[in-house]
A and B are shown apart, each in its own frame.
Chain A
Amino acid sequence: MALRTEELMLNMGPQHPSTHGVLRLVVTLDGENIVDVRPDIGYLHSSVEKMMEYRRYVQNVSLVDRGMDYLIALQNEQVYCLAVERLAGIEVPERGMYLRVIFDELQRLASHLVWLGTWGIDLGATTVFLWCFREREMILDLFEKVTGGRLHHAYFRIGGVYIDPPPGWTDEVKGFLDYFDRCVAEYDKLLTANPIFLARTKGVGVITRREAVAMGASGPVGRASGIAVDVRKIEPYEVYDRMTFDVPVFPEGDCFARYQVRLEEMRQSSRIVRQALKALPGGEVRSRVPMTMKAPRGEVYVRTESARGDLAIHLVSDGGEMPYRVKIRAPSFSNLYALTEMMRGWKIADVIAILGSIDIVLSDVDR
């Protein structure tokens, strides 16, 4: 006689510590097997898009820092500044653009380090967490010396960056990168060949290229499924067209591929920062933009490659001092909804490993 079974619905979160923020997952289980996963979002909604309509263009720089993805504050500032600059036709001096690229890539490193560390914790590896945060601390110190902030900088300005780095800062960055390249080799040594790590990640949470495209997955999640798209290559902004770097693409689509993509991206980011430091020209860092600037009537859509994927802003102006409407295309949001496809058929024990591997930030998902 067969045992009568029924599906079990399990709530994970919103206060679960390993859901990386306030995310609720409604997991439908058949025994230990996952039948369906529905992410329930909205706990961190801060209506940043609406708030931006009530602040002047210049003031919004400090809002996108914290209203969107708080781990990549500088990249948020960058996409916003690029949008306003393209709309109003503002030129950025060379030095400003190079500095933006340097900060953009350092921010990517910091964000990937948080991801690798927290994912390590998710998989039960505390060592890598402590190591990653050790290096991230150094990056935050480098930021602090220039911007005065550690997480929320308000450093990029419409038309450039706020202020020149202090003397000797570029040498410090070079010194850090020399150290950091050794650190990445250590992470590689610690994790990539570790059988426990491989057992938990290789072949787990597979999403095919077709599904990834259908779900709008971008960034490292997309590239781990074979989508060879990097906005820095296909629609270069700032001075990325002058930089030489590779875009890591892996066809497997599993957690291990996502790990490999991000690890390789760290190496590439370090490479870009070196090139930018070498080519860093002198001169002004910003063009003067009045605090009460007005953008001409019109709209603009700007894409950038953030640490999580395709971060874009659609900005509409009615010719006033404030944006008329702002729509943010959050990469975490699209990547999160690829989760259902990734998790179907896996065991309950893999939920955290798979969720951690897509690297979401809930303030980016909810905005």
Chain B
Amino acid sequence: MSVAQRKNPVGEIVGAVRALATGLGLTWQVMLRRKVTVKYPVERLPVSNRFHGLLALPIDPETGKDLCIICFQCERVCPSRCIHIEAQGKGKERVLSRFDIEMDKCQYCAFCVEVCPTEPKAIVFVPHYESSTFDRSTLLYNLDDLHRAAPKEPIATGIVDVRHRRAAGNHNGAGLAPSAARPGGTTTP
């Protein structure tokens, strides 16, 4: 419909100009507000420490051993069946010989964390979100990887504020190779 066909072309034009001014005025206001975006590798947004980033097996700081009591509950409850546990020995000598998690299968539901009967939990989620990789085979995490991913100290409740903190390493892209992005190093199963 062209302007000539309309009943009140002047009114239409005035309305359109007014609407344009309203829209531009609003966007101008918003432009002057504080920015919400960050330059990602240099600045980072805060991550909740409940964030389901990576599974980890914390070690008991007193005994230096696994907290895991090898009850197989997490293996059983996992909907994706991505946890594989094997144990050796009997009675008190029983130790983990295998604890593999296929992180590519994991759906980050935290059922394993929920069912874990030990206190503190023997399997936890850590809020580490840069675990992407170019090689799928590196997503098979064994016992050593899961120990390394574990937080050095118990995670406090609250929010980990990492905004505007410069990340370690260079930011030319080379420092963000998958191996460097993993906590404590890499694995090649």
Contacts and interface: CB of A to CB of B under 8 A. Distances in A.
Interface of A: 55, 58-63, 65-66, 127, 131, 134, 137, 141, 144-149, 152, 154, 162, 166-167, 186, 189-190, 193-196, 291
A190 B36 CA distance: 20
Interface string B16-27: 100100110011
A141 B109 CA distance: 17
B52 interface: yes
B26 A154 contact: no
B26 A190 contact: yes
Contacts of B48: 141, 144-145, 148
B186 interface: no
B50 A152 contact: no
Contacts of A152: 107-109
A134 B110 contact: no
A194 B125 CA distance: 47
Given A62-B107, A154-B110, A195 B51 contact: no
Contacts of A137: 36
Contacts of B103: none
A127 B107 contact: no
Given A59-B111, A62-B79, A148 B158 contact: no
B77 A167 contact: no
Interface of B: 12, 15-16, 19, 22-23, 26-27, 30, 36, 47-48, 50-52, 73, 77, 79, 107-111, 114-115, 125, 157-159
Contact of A145 (B50, B79, B111, B114): B50
3 A-B pairs closest in CB distance: A62-B109, A154-B109, A59-B79
A103 to B, nearest CB: 14
A154 B111 contact: yes
Given A58-B77, A162-B114, A195-B12, A148 B27 contact: no
Nearest to B80: A62
Contacts, number: 74
Nearest to A125: B23
Nearest to B113: A148
8 contacts: A59-B79, A65-B109, A127-B23, A147-B50, A148-B110, A152-B108, A162-B110, A186-B30
A195 B115 contact: no
Contacts of A189: 22, 26
Contact of B108 (A145, A146, A149, A162): A149
B159 A63 contact: no
A63 B110 CA distance: 13
A195 B15 CA distance: 8
A193 B107 CA distance: 44
Contact of B26 (A166, A186, A195, A291): A186
Contacts of B15: 195
A146 B30 contact: no
Nearest to A137: B36
Contact of B50 (A66, A131, A144): A144
A190 B23 CA distance: 5
Given A148-B50, A148-B52, A149-B52, A167 B157 contact: yes
B149 to A, nearest CB: 16
Nearest to B125: A148
B111 A127 contact: no
A141 B127 CA distance: 13
A364 B30 CA distance: 35
Contacts of B19: 193-196
Given A59-B77, A134-B36, A193-B22, A144 B110 contact: no
Contacts of B157: 166-167
Contacts of A154: 107-111
Contacts of A55: 79
